[in-house]
Every structure is written in structure tokens, then in C-alpha cells.
Amino acid sequence: MPANGEIYNPWRMFNGSFIPNAILKCRELSATAKLLFGRLCQYAGADGEAFPSYSTLGQEVGIERRQAIRAIRELEDFGLIRAVARRRDDGSHCSNSYVFLWHTIFSEDGSPPSGGKNGAKGSVTNDTTPQCHPRHQVVPAVTPKEIQTREEETTTELVRLLLSGTPLSEISDPELQVLLRRHGIERMTLVGDVATETWRREPKEIRNPAGYLHSLCDSLIVPSWYQTPEERKAKAAKAEELRSARKKAEEAEKAAMEKDVEAKESFWASLSDADRENFRTAALASMSPGIKWPEVAITAIAKSMAWERCSRMGTNEIPFLP
């Protein structure tokens, strides 16, 4: 492995995403869409399907989730992929599955390449199209209505995530989509979050989630105690930071006490029998008379007295007590 700053040959050295040259040269696609296409290809299994979430794709190529959503839509609109909605066993939404669509930018005649030309050092390339041309564009494989439907499903999933764990999650998808079209995603996101936080503070029965949310959308008064998700996240991070600092302080204190006990026991063991007996006598004299104190209590006080005398004098040479 080369050292940092050392010259190396990158040929066949790395594992990573592969972006076809035809896509790299295509001027109709953004750089983000090209990057996401390469990463999406890595998820394609033997069946040619990939189903990473928007958040996963965004994190793995270093972009925000909303940028990943826009890039996926761009690839869909261009006709390179098609999203297929998926559901869990309980009927809830999960990440889309993506299938890859052959595009005429990959070859001049639109058919899959049967071979390639030899490249440098024996590698094979399938670059049959020098650059993308407007005439290579095809009609998207999905209709505007299907695109709108998928957008509504994605937005519904986001709002459902806010409502999870409360009676509000019982709202049906058609009811939620009606509210989204009527009030918009920003209003519904705020209302959903306020309603959820209100219920968590004061749980109560909500028989008609759709009507309850609709009423809030029309006449929402944000409570003074309400904090946005960002504020709650920052507060939780601060609390975790304080908890971590407190835990470290407790661990340090415990370690210091254990060290002190160990040093005390070690010093007590180093004393002569006569010194230990003198300290036991002094300890017993300091205790309340008329009580038969157990030997273990007398010894414990004697050890403390010996260690205190040692610490005060700063030496291990402890004179006999009178």
C-alpha cells in the first residue's frame, strides 16, 4: 500500500461505483444524478433490482436526502431507471425498488453492445457513443400521473413517520393524501409534528385522525412549549453530552477512590504489628465508650487514622502512638 503523498497507479486498484462513459458525457444529466446512478448500480443484484433508501443513497455519496430524491427523479425522467413502490408485510411503505431501463445513449442504434474495443493495458470498454445528443432522448417510461402518484406516496411516508406511535397513525393513505393536496407538505409536516408532540405530552383518544389533523391545519396555534425537530435534536445532543461528561466524572471519582483505598490498604500492610496495634488502641479510644465494637469497625477506623497521619506527615515513617 503506497504511503500518503506517494505516487501510485490507480489501474485496477480500487473497488467502487462504475459510471458508464455514455452517462458521464451526457450533458442533459447533472453531476449528482450521474454519481447516484453509479452508486445505484452497485446495489443491483442478480435480478437487476436495487432498493436503497433516499437517506442511504445520500449518505453514501455525500449529499442531502432531498438532493438524492431530486437526482433519482432526474434519472427517472430521463428514462434510465424506474421506481417500483414496495410495502412491508404490515402494509406500511418502505423504500422503492429500482429497475434499470436501457437507453439509446448507451449505443447509437439503441441495442445492447455485443462487445467492445481493447483499451489500455488489456481493459475492455463499451463506449460506443462519443457524446449525448438531443435526438437520443426518449419519452420517459412513466407518465406524469405515475410520477405524481409516487411523489404523493413518498410524502405520505414522511408524514406517517412523524405520526408513528400515536393514534394519528391510524389515518388512511387516501385521507392523508387529500390533506396533503389541500394544505401542502410544509403545513402538514408542522401540524403532524405539533399534534404528535401534543399527544405525547397528554395522551388521549383520537377517534377521527383525519378530522383532527384537518381542524389543526385550519386553525393551528403553535404551543409555547413546542420545539422543532431540529431544536429537539440539539437539546437531546446537549443532554447526551452532559450525561457523558457526568459519567466520565463519576468514573474518575470512582477510580480515585479505588486508588485511595488501595494505597491505604498497602500502607496498612507495611506497618509493623506494634504500629497497627497502637492505631487500633487509638481508634477504640476515639469511639463511644460502653459499646462492644466489632473488630472490623475498629480496624477500619485504625486504617483511616494511620493513612491520615501518613498523608499529613508526608512520610511512611509513622511513630508509635502514645
- Asked if 21 and 128 touch (Cβ cutoff 8 Å), the reply is no
Within 13 A of 243's CA, how many CA atoms are on the CB side?
Answer: 6
Tell whether the torsion through CA atoms of 117, 123, 127 and 131 is positive or negative: negative
Give how far Cα 187 sits from Cα of 64, 67, 184, 212, 226, Å: 22, 21, 6, 14, 15
Cell matching residue 115: 462487445
Asked whether residue 55 carries a pLDDT value surpassing 70, the answer given is yes
Q: What is the pLDDT of residues 179-221, one digit of tens each?
A: 888 888 888 889 999 999 999 999 999 989 999 999 999 988 8
How far is Cα 177 from Cα 154, in angstroms, rounded to an integer? 10
Query: What is the pLDDT at residue 108?
Result: 54
The mean per-residue pLDDT over the stretch 264-273 comes to 89
Q: What is the pLDDT of residues 26-49, one digit of tens each?
A: 999 999 999 999 999 888 877 778
Asked whether residue 90 carries a pLDDT value surpassing 60, the answer given is yes
- Asked if 274 and 239 touch (Cβ cutoff 8 Å), the reply is no
Which alpha helices (DSSP H) does 164-272 contain, by range? 173-183, 185-201, 209-218, 229-270
Q: What is the pLDDT of residues 120-164, one digit of tens each?
A: 333 434 443 334 444 334 444 444 444 445 555 566 788 888 888
Sorted by sequence, the CB contacts under 8 Å of residue 175 that are 6+ apart come out as 209, 210
Query: What is the pLDDT at residue 77?
Result: 93
- Asked if 155 and 185 touch (Cβ cutoff 8 Å), the reply is yes
Query: What is the pLDDT at residue 15?
Result: 74
CATH architecture under which domain 21-113+121-142 falls: Orthogonal Bundle (1.10)
3-class DSSP assignment, residue 83: strand
Domain residue ranges in the chain: 21-113+121-142, 150-218, 271-322
What percentage of the chain carries pLDDT values higher than 70? 81
The mean per-residue pLDDT over the stretch 57-79 comes to 92
Query: What is the pLDDT at residue 138?
Result: 41
Query: What is the pLDDT at residue 145?
Result: 44
What percentage of the chain carries pLDDT values higher than 90? 30
